[in-house]
Amino acid sequence: KNEVEQSPQNLTAQEGEFITINCSYSVGISALHWLQQHPGGGIVSLFMLSSGKKKHGRLIATINIQEKHSSLHITASHPRDSAVYICAVLNYGGSQGNLIFGKGTKLSVKP
Amino acid sequence: KAGVTQTPRYLIKTRGQQVTLSCSPISGHRSVSWYQQTPGQGLQFLFEYFSETQRNKGNFPGRFSGRQFSNSRSEMNVSTLELGDSALYLCASSLPAAGDTGELFFGEGSRLTVL
């Protein structure tokens, strides 16, 4: 069993829909990252959180440490949101680079 | 402010050769980490450097090595290349001295093809 599980693996939505991507993990963590990867490879860090909730524009990330679960929400989705979204956790005692990654959720938003 | 720069962006090698990839972090960032991304395994952590010292290493064979220079630029080397080493190699830099938590800034990656 992977230490970081994401669902769904693939997601197709219509423009304007509310989207939720889930991430569950089985290890103790000090932080969780949500990353976005567009075709071509470049990765952008969307959020880093260790508790509660963060919001940036149309994106909201939440984490429940007790339940070992995080969600990424996209409100009013747009075709430019089409990308792979990756959850990554930083193990307790691990330094910055020692991340464990989920397999990613491929999002396609249709106009 | 310039982002993280990786060179080369694309390269093709043959089995048995070696390759060196370079990563220049954002100015002022002292932590550089390296990752391998393949369709089968996804993203996997290779190693992390901070102030010229390897701070952590992932579960990769000794053919994978790296180093960091005094200006924080980092290189990774893969010797005796195998077909399975074909991948996108990404580096990321971050600012915090403590190294535990901090936003990661990724480069565009170096896409290696081994024939």
Residues of A in contact with B39 (CB under 8 A): none
* Residues of B in Cβ contact (< 8 Å) with A104: 42
What pLDDT, on the 0 to 100 scale, is given for residue A84?
A: 97
Q: Does A90 touch chain B (CB under 8 A)?
A: yes
What was the pLDDT predicted at B55? 84
* Residue A1, pLDDT score: 65
B-chain CB neighbours of A35 within 8 Å are 104, 106
Question: For residue B94, what pLDDT is reported?
Answer: 87
Interchain CB contact of B26 with A (< 8 Å): no
Q: HSE (CB half, 13 Å, CA atoms) of A12?
A: 2
Count Cβ neighbours within 10 Å for each residue of B27-46 and write b for 16 or more, e otherwise.
eebbbbbbbbbeeeebbbbb
- Residue-level pLDDT at A91: 78
Average pLDDT of the residues in A15-32:
94
Q: Quote the minimal CA–CA distance from A16 to chain B in Å.
A: 29
- Shortest CA distance from B110: residue in chain A: A41
Question: What pLDDT does A92 receive?
Answer: 67
Q: What is the rounded average pLDDT for all residues in chain B?
A: 91
Confidence band for A10, pLDDT divided at 50, 70 and 90 = very high
Report how far apart, in Å, the C-alpha atoms of B89 and of each of A54, A93, B106 are.
29, 25, 11
Nearest CB to B45 within list A48, A97, A102: A97
Q: Is the dihedral of CA A89, A90, A91, A92 positive or negative?
A: negative
Contact status, residue A13 vs residue A19, Cβ threshold 8 Å: yes
pLDDT for residue B2: 74
Provide the pLDDT for residue A99: 85
Measured between alpha carbons, how far is B80 from A38 in angstroms, rounded to an integer?
31
B44 vs A101: CB contact, 8 Å cut-off? yes
Query: CA B49, B55, B56, B57: dihedral to nearest 10 degrees?
Result: 60
Residue B80 DSSP label: S
Angstrom distance (rounded) from CA B38 to CA B19: 17
Q: Convert the pLDDT of each residue in A51-110 to its tens digit.
A: 999 999 999 999 999 999 999 999 999 999 999 999 999 876 655 557 899 999 999 999
Instruction: Select from B10, B86, B104 the residue whose CB has the most chain A CBs within 10 Å, as the one to mutate to test that interface.
Output: B104
| Contact criterion met (CB below 8 Å) for B9 and B35 | no
**pLDDT interval class at B101 (50, 70, 90):** low
- The answer to whether B11 faces chain A, any CB pair under 8 Å, is no
DSSP A7: E
- Arithmetic mean of pLDDT, B10-23: 97
- Among A6-10, A37-41, A44-48, B97-101, the range scoring the smallest mean pLDDT is B97-101
Q: Which of B34, B42, B48 sits opposite A95 (nearest CB)?
A: B48
Name the residue among A33, A40, A95 with its Cβ closest to that of B100: A95
Residue A6 confidence (pLDDT) above 80: yes
**Nearest beta carbon to residue A98 from set B32, B45, B106:** B45
User: Which residue, A29, A46, A30, A32, is CA-closest to A84?
Assistant: A46
Cross-chain CB nearest to A95 (options B55, B105, B111):
B55
